[in-house]
Amino acid sequence: MRRGKLELVWSYYYDHTTMKRHFEKMAGKGWALDRMGIFWHYHRIRPKSLHYAVGYFPGGGVYAPPTGEELTFEEYCEMAGWELAAEHGPMKIFCNERENPVPLETQADIQVENIRRGSRRVRIIDATLGAIGWLILIYFMLNLYFDGVRTLSSGAGLFFAFVGLLLGIYGLVELITYQSWYQRAKANARRDLSFTPTKGHPVISKTILFLAIASAVFYALTATGGILMLAVAAGYFIVYYFQDIIRNRMRGKGANTAVNLGVNFVIAFLIFFAIFNGYQYFNFSDTAGEKYYEKKGFHWDGQEAPLTLQKLETPGFDGKGYVDTQNIQSSVFLSRMEIEEFYNESLSGAKGDPGYYLDYVVAKVKLPSLYGFARSSMERTYETGKNWQPLDPWETGEREEIHVCQTTLTRNNLQIFRYLLCMEDRIVKIDLSFAPDKEGQKMILEVLGEI
Amino acid sequence: MARAKFQTLTEQMFYILLCLRQECCGMDIMEKVRKMTGDRVNIGPGTLYNLLDQFSQAEMIVETKVEGRRKSYILTETGKEALQAEYERICVQAADYRHYMEVQENEKGET
């Protein structure tokens, strides 16, 4: 039989009514709250009816030892049968076994003011995180407009945008529900001293929490280096689990703030030290070898880039002074690969003929319904100020005709021919310093259509 | 400022101040008020703590003794004035009530 239970804190800090009801329900199921932090920690009891009350003591610290005033407040509560069950900063959760206890708060205006002052710091943090969440989302939307394919093919970008959205909703819901409660509660207290229960919409906060964890796990299991992220996330929860216990114990024993913070910092450091070293030791690296490309949605034979100036048999090209860069990323929606080959003496350290340039972006669409979006997005991203001109379709022996658009631009005094090739499951943008002949077109279609 | 804040007292404020006409420990006030009002008025510990704090800040009560965490208080002149003013306000209300009821009774008798 389990002796303890953990629950991630899912209610808003100010929402004392929801918390009180929840703890009373848990006591009925045989779980009594005994501490809190980012988790609610319960221990097993005989199922019984217990009364809970959430009080706020503005000024109460998380790491600082309780002040004399705080202890006096707790003693007053004890006199009325309210035993301190758990606390976190200004929030103090009391439990009472008496049948009809005197409520913790019997004057509504004082309760409203205490909740406002006691929850202010957490509300400011939540609102700031919410604002950051909306900013991330705005940044994501702008990127989606200007370079939709790159944005949608980045697993990390999608994950952060999704988390940003969740944070934004979380902060906004708290702001709205708190403000509407506070205005009503203040008016009711002023009018007839009546109490107004808080209502923080726990379904929304629980859903947000679930989606955030689910998306983090999904991202961690599908992204390159995701195992490390999963380990860090697990480490975060382990750190907080121990901190909830140690911080509360040290605080209860009157340890000063610096010592409490120091001990908790050392624990966090040791846990993360073990995680990072364990990761290195067991070498969970999932980025090596050919599997890296396959995982990202591309595969081709050999170590070289699939298409190079050399392979295109450009006349007079000797490769001296040329360097190439590549960028590959993948998400559940798209895979995107960009390879650029250009002349640069300072990077390559060799001298050659600076007359050639090659850059191509292959966007593989995993979700067919996104094809139209990916195409228009690439047309927008790679437009040069001149309109895309439709060309006669490029052809290759067995393949069907491929629709092609062309535009031109100038790069380092070099005229560049830019093509957009719309294939069945992918869209390719290719920049060349020369107009490819039939053979070149065939090679481009064959190579970039197969990888 | 203090007078404006405590212009009228709530029932709980009234009884706390009434208790503190004599020196009394903060923790004992809950029980004293309960007995004084025959269980009609109960003061929650959170409310009591906050009200004592507010009364102290408004200089309506003053700390007289500290034994460990047991603090005793007593009313100041300002507190006595506030209590007296509240008492008079309640008396005026009661007088108004009585007067109104008498008039009603008389009108009924005449008809």
Separation CA A336–CA A329 (nearest Å): 5
* % of chain A with per-residue pLDDT over 70: 94
Mean local confidence (pLDDT), A63-78:
91
Separation CA B3–CA B78 (nearest Å): 9
- A407 contact B CB<8A: no
Average pLDDT over chain A reads 88
Mean local confidence (pLDDT), A90-106:
94
pLDDT bucket at A36, cuts 50 / 70 / 90: very high
Tell me: the pLDDT tens digits for A238-261? Answer: 999 998 899 988 988 888 889 999
Cβ of B42 and A102 within 8 Å? yes
Contact A320, A351 (CB under 8 A): yes
Q: What is the pLDDT of residue B1?
A: 38
Separation CA A206–CA A208 (nearest Å): 5
Q: Residues of A157-189 as b/e, b for ≥16 C-beta within 10 angstroms?
A: bbbbbbbbbbbbbbbbbbeebbeebbeebbebb
Q: What is the pLDDT of residue A83?
A: 96
Asked which of A122-131, A189-198, A273-282, A349-358 is least confident by mean pLDDT, the reply is A349-358
Q: Residues of A229-268 as b/e, b for ≥16 C-beta within 10 angstroms?
A: bbbeeebeebbbbbbbbbbbebbeeebeeeebbebbeebb
pLDDT at residue A57 above 50?
yes
Tell me: the pLDDT tens digits for B67-109? Answer: 888 899 999 999 999 999 999 999 999 999 999 999 988 888 8
Query: Does A305 or A377 have the greater pLDDT score?
Result: A377
pLDDT bucket at A395, cuts 50 / 70 / 90: low
Domain architecture of chain B: domains with CATH: 2-110 (1.10.10.10)
CB atoms within 10 A of CB A49: 9
- A81 contact B CB<8A: no
Residue of A nearest to B42 (CA): A102
Cβ of A104 and B10 within 8 Å? no
Tell me: the pLDDT tens digits for A187-235? Answer: 999 998 899 999 878 899 999 999 999 998 888 887 766 778 888 888 8
* CA distances in angstroms from A213 to A206, A210, A248, B73, listed in the order given: 11, 5, 26, 53
Q: What is the pLDDT of residue B102?
A: 92
- A82 contact B CB<8A: yes
**Chain A residues close to B47, C-beta within 8 Å:** 104-107, 110-111
Asked which of A31-35, A387-391, B14-18 is least confident by mean pLDDT, the reply is A387-391
For every residue of A124-156, DSSP letters joined together read: HHHHHHHHHHHHHHHHHHHHHHHSHHHHHT-HH
Q: Tokens at residue A420, please? A: 């957009």
Q: Enumerate the β-bridge partners of residue A414.
A: A411
Tell me: the pLDDT tens digits for B22-69? Answer: 999 988 999 999 999 999 999 999 999 999 999 999 999 999 988 888
Contact A262, A250 (CB under 8 A): no
Tell me: the pLDDT tens digits for A329-371? Answer: 888 889 999 999 888 877 767 776 677 889 999 999 988 899 9
Q: Give me the total of CB pairs closer than 8 Å, taking one residue from chain A and one from chain B.
A: 63
CB-based contacts of A182, cutoff 8 Å, min separation 6: A112, A115, A116
Q: What is the pLDDT of residue A407?
A: 86
Cβ of B46 and A55 within 8 Å? yes
pLDDT bucket at A377, cuts 50 / 70 / 90: very high
Q: What is the pLDDT of residue A285?
A: 56
Domain ranges (residues) in chain A: 4-96, 124-281, 290-450
Asked which of A281-290, A372-381, B43-52 is least confident by mean pLDDT, the reply is A281-290
Residue of A nearest to B12 (CA): A107
End-to-end CA distance of chain A: 55
Separation CA A173–CA A208 (nearest Å): 11
Q: What is the pLDDT of residue B48?
A: 96
Q: What is the pLDDT of residue A229?
A: 80
Contact A34, A26 (CB under 8 A): no
- A75 contact B CB<8A: yes
pTM: 0.84
Q: What is the pLDDT of residue A252?
A: 83
Separation CA A357–CA A60 (nearest Å): 65
The yes or no reply on domain A290-450 and CATH 3.90.930 is no
Query: Would you call A414 helix, strand, or coil by DSSP?
Result: strand
Contact A40, A7 (CB under 8 A): yes
pLDDT at residue A289 above 90?
no
Q: Which of B48, B53, B65, B73 to mutate to test the interface with A (most CBs of A within 10 A)?
A: B48
pLDDT at residue A294 above 70?
no
Tell me: the pLDDT tens digits for A416-445? Answer: 889 998 888 899 999 998 888 888 888 888
Cβ of A111 and B46 within 8 Å? yes
Task: Please give the backbone phi and psi of residue A82, each rounded to the nearest 5 degrees, phi first.
Answer: -90, 105
Sign of CA dihedral A21, A26, A28, A32: negative
Separation CA A81–CA A64 (nearest Å): 25
Tell me: the pLDDT tens digits for A140-176? Answer: 999 999 999 999 998 889 999 999 999 999 999 999 9
pLDDT bucket at A284, cuts 50 / 70 / 90: low
Q: Tokens at residue A433, please? A: 């310093």
Separation CA B57–CA B73 (nearest Å): 13
